[in-house]
């Protein structure tokens, strides 16, 4: 393995276990692995197995096939200096200082939009262990198998065509429940628009345009759309607003007039956080979200169920990570 960056610029747990991606595995040597999809101009998907591990103060990396450092850096968005960014956030709002200091190296990933969209379609009203199990089931059933050099088997995230051809009943059997209908319907809506190429093209459109395109899909509300915008479409000012973020906003920044999450309330919270933290406000939202998990003592179960194959539900596991 070769060295990638300092752990101050990239923390494995803070980034890979904060509810933005769901397929990273960690082994007994604390090596994190995931097979990711890279798309070229002709949209021919390529499988790349990425390994990451902390070695002292440095992050080691390796890929199969080898020599994919540019891809790894792009996925991890290592062009963003999170140390400087954290300092900017503290200047914008001193109350975020504790979160920035507690979670150094927390990054926002640049995921494949296909994986990001359909993964978050599996998150609605589901606990973490069920999300992971459903996503893994989709990959094993509809993704492609990849046999690593060490003999371990991995699976890619399914292509849109495979999900469009899946039956609702078969996906329900994987644990998706009512979300199976959303997955099938959204996949079938995307194909005539251009499939994966269409989703990738949303990176070139404005945040408002990309979000509007996403919420036109079955099962995609504002929060899922904002997750996809932030975690895969380069919209760094997207703010996924869930219960955690609403409570944080009401605690520090504003008072809302209703207990329900209306469209106006959602917009008010997002706009308030954007005004405070600027064009990278989505990254600030991740610090705030992560800190809230710790304050509610939800992290212990969150990490435990991520780092093991245990799928036993826990009452303090956050039910809707974002």
Active site residues: 223
Place of tokens 């809506």: 189
Length of the chain: 322
Place of tokens 């606990």: 127
CB 237 within 8 A of CB 250: no
DSSP β-ladder status, 2-6 and 45-55: unpaired
C-alpha distances out from residue 319 to 63, 127, 246, 279, Å = 32, 4, 15, 28
* 33 token code pair: 């692995």
Burial of residue 73 (number of CB atoms within 10 Å: 0-12, 13-18, 19+): middle
The CA-based angle 72-16-184, given to 5 degrees, is 90
Closest CA to 301 of 291, 312, 285, 292: 312
What are the phi and psi torsion angles at 41 (to 5°)?
-60, -30
């Amino acid at each position: 393995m070769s060295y990638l960056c300092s752990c101050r610029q990239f923390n494995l747990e803070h980034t890979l276990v904060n509810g933005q991606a769901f397929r990273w595995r960690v082994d007994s040597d604390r090596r994190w692995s995931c097979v990711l999809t890279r798309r070229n101009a002709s949209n021919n998907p390529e499988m790349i197995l990425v390994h990451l591990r902390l070695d002292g103060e440095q992050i080691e990396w390796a890929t199969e096939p080898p020599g994919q450092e540019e891809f790894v850096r792009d996925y991890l968005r290592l062009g963003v200096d999170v140390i400087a960014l954290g300092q900017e956030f503290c200047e914008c709002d001193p109350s975020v200082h504790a979160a920035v200091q507690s979670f150094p190296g927390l990054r926002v990933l640049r995921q494949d939009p296909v994986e990001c969209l359909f993964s978050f379609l599996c998150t609605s009203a589901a606990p973490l262990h069920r999300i992971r199990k459903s996503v893994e089931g989709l990959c094993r059933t509809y993704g492609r198998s990849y046999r690593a050099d060490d003999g371990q088997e991995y699976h890619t995230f399914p292509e849109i065509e495979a999900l469009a051809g899946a039956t609702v009943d078969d996906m329900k059997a994987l644990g998706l429940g009512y979300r199976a209908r959303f997955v099938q319907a959204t996949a079938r809506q995307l194909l005539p628009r251009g499939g994966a190429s269409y989703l990738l093209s949303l990176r070139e459109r404005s945040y408002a345009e990309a979000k509007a395109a996403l919420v036109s899909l079955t099962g995609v509300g504002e929060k899922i759309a904002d997750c996809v915008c932030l975690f895969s479409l380069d919209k760094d000012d997207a703010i996924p607003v869930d219960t955690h973020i609403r409570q944080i906003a009401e605690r520090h920044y504003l008072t809302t007039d209703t207990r329900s999450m209306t469209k106006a309330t959602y917009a008010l919270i997002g706009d308030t956080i954007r005004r405070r933290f600027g064009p990278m406000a989505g990254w600030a939202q991740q610090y705030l979200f992560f800190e809230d998990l710790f304050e509610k003592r939800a992290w212990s179960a969150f990490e435990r169920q991520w780092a093991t194959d245990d799928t036993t539900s826990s009452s303090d596991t956050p039910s809707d990570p974002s």
